[in-house]
Amino acid sequence: MKERKSFISSFMIAVSNCTLYTKEHEAFDDMAKQALVTLQINMDEKFEIMILDNELVVNKVPFRDSGLHGNNLIKRLKKKKTSSIEFFKDITLSEMKQFIIDLSQAGRELKSYPHIRIGSVTLYSSGAADSLQTGSLLHDEQSETIKDVFHSASPFKALKVVALEEVVLNFIASFKKGASVLKHLSPVKSYNEYTYTHATNVAILSLFQAESLGIKDELLYDIGIAALLHDSGKLFISGEILDKKSRLDEREFAEIQKHPLYGAKYLAKIDNLTRLAPIVAYEHHMKYDGTGYPEAYEDGKSQHICSQIVAISDFFDALRSRRSYRESVNTEKIVGMMKKGSDTDFNPFLLDNFIRLLYSSETEGENSPLPSKDEKQNI
Ligand SMILES: [Fe+2]
Ligand SMILES: [Fe+2]
């Protein structure tokens, strides 16, 4: 975090001072070099800055305390009608200098260079922001992204981690608007939509919990990704078992119980994916008291707190969604069931916090996330 800030600062110092010096001046040269060095410290392959809803997002993580320099950068980029910059690994000093000059001077258009790409972010338009106040957080575009990711994921194809990252980024950026958690959830509109709707709802519920606990930045973001992928082991379970309308027999149940292991193995092999993802996938059906499945760790290690968060979201969303084998359960009833599992199935502190979030003041009058009667007929 500090490093990101140091780049934004040194970059903006160079931009602000650029008009004072000619581009050949030693001071400008020093500042541009400093910006380049701090950029390289921050960058493996790419360093990305976006403006989403008037906030800076750096490398897909909201950068809310970016300070004076961050605000200045937002203003300058807006003037240039630009909302994203990507710096790539082999950027040269002369590209950095030219870019700083272009950004600092009025009347000059920003353009891309071989290792700097500029653009505008369309994923989160102001129109979409308005709709967040009243409806689900899952816009069509994001919904399509998630469908696409889940449909294309298989043991033989790479998971589109970047696409998921954008979805989580959008969730986090939207939460600041303060709508109630239940308003953000999507009802499952059809049986075959369950997989990804459940994934997004579990991510939203987990992010709400995590944010309310003061978790932020990279860890918050990683929890969102891990929650989205918690059930990815189900990709390896046959549809016949997953969609079976009648009760599962013993063999089928044993097979379903392997999805945490399948998911963890699958996710552990994916590069550039948070290590939390395989951990949460493996542990999300474990219980707070060490029961559940897979079996508790032999060394007595307990479930990771992020898995405890996701387990709460998972249980809640699984019951509130109508499935092929049963109707949805209403919020009150689910909460009652969860309370019975406090200290055994669920971490009691996290559960209390979750229930408080569900019934927070903003939720009043909308205390059921379930589809209305009319909506139900369309399901
Ligand atoms: Fe699961
Ligand atoms: Fe699940």
Q: Give 323's DSSP letter.
A: B
Reported as a single tens digit per residue, the pLDDT across 159-177 is 566 667 767 776 776 665 5
Find the ligand nearest to 260 CA.
1
Q: For residue 136, what pLDDT is reported?
A: 41
* Contact indicator for 246, 254 with CB cutoff of 8 Å: no
Is residue 123 packed enough to be buried (19+ CB in 10 Å), middle (13-18) or exposed (0-12)? middle
Residue 232 Cα to ligand 1 middle (Å): 8
Q: Measured between alpha carbons, how far is residue 248 from residues 195, 219, 251 in Å?
A: 18, 37, 8
Residue 315 Cα to ligand 1 middle (Å): 9
d(CA 270, CA 264): 10
Find the ligand nearest to 202 CA.
2
pTM value surpassing 0.75: no
Residue 280 Cα to ligand 1 middle (Å): 10
Q: Measured between alpha carbons, how far is residue 229 from residues 195, 196, 203, 353 in Å?
A: 10, 9, 9, 23
Find the ligand nearest to 199 CA.
2
If one counts every other C-beta atom within 10 angstroms of the C-beta of residue 17, the result is 16
Residue 119 Cα to ligand 2 middle (Å): 36
Q: Which structure tokens are listed for 126?
A: 């102001």
Q: For residue 238, what pLDDT is reported?
A: 85
* Contact indicator for 189, 379 with CB cutoff of 8 Å: yes
Domains of the chain, first to last: 2-119 (no CATH), 133-378 (1.10.3210.10)
Residue 140 Cα to ligand 1 middle (Å): 25
Residue 314 Cα to ligand 2 middle (Å): 5
Find the ligand nearest to 257 CA.
1
Q: Which residues of the chain have pLDDT under 50?
A: 122-139, 155-157, 189, 191, 361-379
Q: For residue 45, what pLDDT is reported?
A: 83
CA atoms within 13 A on the CB side of 188: 23
Residue 201 Cα to ligand 1 middle (Å): 13
Q: For residue 156, what pLDDT is reported?
A: 44
Three-state DSSP class for 377? helix
* Contact indicator for 3, 38 with CB cutoff of 8 Å: yes
Find the ligand nearest to 227 CA.
2
Contacts 24+ apart (CB under 8 A), 147-150: 147/193, 147/196, 149/196, 150/195, 150/196, 150/199, 150/235
Residue 224 Cα to ligand 2 middle (Å): 14
